[in-house]
Amino acid sequence: MTPGVGDQGEVSKSLAICSIRTVCYSLRATLNKMKLLIAAIFAALCVATFAVDVHEHNKVVCYWNSTSFERSGPGKFQVDDLRPALSLCTHLVYGFAGINADTLEVVPLNPNLDTGAGYAFYRMVPQLKRSFPDLKVYLSVGGNADPYESTHKYLLVTETSENRRKFINSVEKIFNDYEFDGIDLAWQFPTVKVKKNRGTFSSLWHGIKKTFGYGKFKDDKEVEHRDGFTLLVRDLKTALRPKFKDVTVTVLPHVNASIYYDARLLAPNIDTVHLWSFDQKTPERNPKEADYPAPIYESYGRVQEDNINNQVRYWLEHGTPGSKIVVGVPTFARTWKLTSDSQISGVPPITTDGPGAEGPHTGIPGLLSYAEVCSRLTESAVGRLRRVNDPSKKYGSYAYEPYNSDAGTDGIWVGYESPDTAGNKAAYAKAKGLGGVAIVDISLDDFRGICTGDKFPIVRAAKYKL
Ligand SMILES: *[C@@H]1O[C@H](CO)[C@@H](O)[C@H](O)[C@H]1NC(C)=O
Ligand SMILES: *[C@@H]1O[C@H](CO)[C@@H](O)[C@H](O)[C@H]1NC(C)=O
């Protein structure tokens, strides 16, 4: 072979290869496009058929106490204040509807605001989905917002199929009238009694009156109520499935899940369970001793009522898929009054004397919104709080103003959630493969952005750790 011929041969060979390659490339490109197309069609089909959860592990479920509209001054929360939150939240839970004790139907608790001609929030709020098309809006029933009745209506509903039917029919009617995407059952089950601390303060624990809620009521039909609730959820889901409506459950603080929630049987019929694993310590239940309100883990050697990890474990161990478990994150602080009897170190558990003074926006003793807390953390603030962070990321942060022995004025101990601790809870949910976080509630976050300029810093911090 002469070099010339050889060269030509090589050239034509490579030309041939080249053109084959070109054809191949363009064929492959077409195939890829088709694949993409097929994949896209498949994905669309999947979404349509199986309603794939795009927020499987990053749900940001935002509860909203709509009655916050009735606060005065900077605490007043209006429908327009929702908008900046809704670019962060995947779900908005409207709080709260109640149950009519006579008819056992779900009813608005604040008819003027909820359904009245003036405001009609039930109509207006789901309409926000036009601006936030991925948002789901749920209506929540109970949430400790519904006054307790001596008939124990939340238990009564579960007791017979006739009672369950009345409730379910009324929910169906709500869905016919309003554009909610689901119903959340924040069921007001009886709570566990306060555990006595066997510490030095045990004498102080005697004679604590508490007449709210179920008071001294002892549920002799726990099993019946649990099984009735399971049937209620099953039948409710059966009624709502054809309408593509979600059913979720919220476990309120101090409700013992192992008594009232049959996790295994509930799992197929609920979309998520929201664990309000906070308020472990509150000034109402524990007036004489302040402690972390919402720890993730128990403190070493401490009588802690419960914690997030324990509650999550119950649901996981009883067959709930991780993606259906959502961890509650409070936006509010619990506060106690510090007196001359309180240890000056501020370290919990600390001796206290009932709820701390009310805040200027919320006006509720023993509670401060995050906006109220953060405005007292700055150097120059009146009533400045000393802040103690949580490098362990397990228990939460606190801040306090000690008792002033010169002036004889009370101090305050504040167990609060900060963007950092909310982020820790979200990081916990992520590490455990859970469904996300539930913020309770957005009206008590810094919705005006007075702390740092960012609106909803707690929602934001939690979302970005998921
Ligand atoms: C909702 O906010 C109102 C107004 O501040 C308050 O009275 C009520 O207790 C709150 N409800 C819940 C369930 O937190
Ligand atoms: C919840 O109930 C279970 C079963 O009755 C019991 O073993 C457990 O101690 C209870 N938990 C709390 C926190 O009271």
In a domain, 305, yes or no: yes
Closest CA to 157 of 165, 169, 149: 165
CB 403 within 8 A of CB 339: yes
Q: Rounded to the nearest whole angstrom, what is the distance from the C-alpha of residue 365 to the centroid of ligand 2?
A: 30
Ligand nearest to the CA of 303: 2
CB 368 within 8 A of CB 383: no
In a domain, 369, yes or no: no
Our answer on whether the CB atom of 258 is closer than 6 Å to any ligand 2 atom is: yes
In a domain, 429, yes or no: yes
Our answer on whether the CB atom of 67 is closer than 6 Å to any ligand 1 atom is: yes
Q: Rounded to the nearest whole angstrom, what is the distance from the C-alpha of residue 86 to the centroid of ligand 1?
A: 21
Our answer on whether the CB atom of 192 is closer than 6 Å to any ligand 2 atom is: yes
In a domain, 440, yes or no: yes
Our answer on whether the CB atom of 65 is closer than 6 Å to any ligand 1 atom is: yes
Q: What is the DSSP string of 46-61?
A: HHHHH---TTSS-EEE
**Half-sphere CA count of 325, side-chain side, radius 13 A:** 26
Q: How many helices (H) and strands (E) does the chain have?
A: 13, 16
Q: Of 220, 222, 225, 259, which is best to mutate to test ligand 2, by the most ligand atoms within 8 angstroms of its C-beta?
A: 259
Q: Which atom of ligand 2 is nearest to the CA of 195?
A: 14
For each of the chain's 466 residues, which pLDDT tens digit applies? 344 444 444 444 444 444 444 444 444 555 555 555 555 555 544 444 455 678 999 999 999 999 999 999 999 999 999 999 999 999 999 999 999 999 999 999 999 999 998 899 999 999 999 999 999 999 999 999 999 999 999 999 999 999 999 999 999 999 999 999 999 999 999 999 887 654 444 444 444 444 457 888 999 999 999 999 999 999 999 999 999 999 999 999 999 999 999 999 999 999 999 999 999 999 999 999 999 999 999 877 776 679 999 999 999 999 999 999 999 999 999 999 999 999 999 999 999 999 999 999 999 999 999 999 999 999 888 889 999 999 999 999 999 999 999 999 999 999 999 999 999 999 999 999 999 999 999 999 999 999 999 999 999 999 999 9
In a domain, 72, yes or no: yes
Provide the whole-model pTM. 0.87
Q: Which atom of ligand 2 is nearest to the CA of 192?
A: 14
Q: What is the DSSP string of 131-190?
A: TSTT-EEEEEEETT-SPP-TT-HHHHHHH-HHHHHHHHHHHHHHHHHS--SEEEEE--PP
Read off the CATH number of the domain in which 83 is found. Answer: 3.20.20.80
Q: Quote the number of domains for the chain.
A: 1
Whole-angstrom distance, CA of residue 269 vs CA of residue 252: 19
Q: Rounded to the nearest whole angstrom, what is the distance from the C-alpha of residue 68 to the centroid of ligand 1?
A: 6
Q: Rounded to the nearest whole angstrom, what is the distance from the C-alpha of residue 404 to the centroid of ligand 1?
A: 31
Our answer on whether the CB atom of 68 is closer than 6 Å to any ligand 1 atom is: yes
Whole-angstrom distance, CA of residue 157 vs CA of residue 101: 9
Our answer on whether the CB atom of 250 is closer than 6 Å to any ligand 1 atom is: no
Ligand nearest to the CA of 254: 2
Enclosing domain of residue 320:
54-331+418-463
In a domain, 263, yes or no: yes
In a domain, 382, yes or no: no
In a domain, 352, yes or no: no
Instruction: Count CB atoms within 10 A of the CB of residue 48.
Output: 9
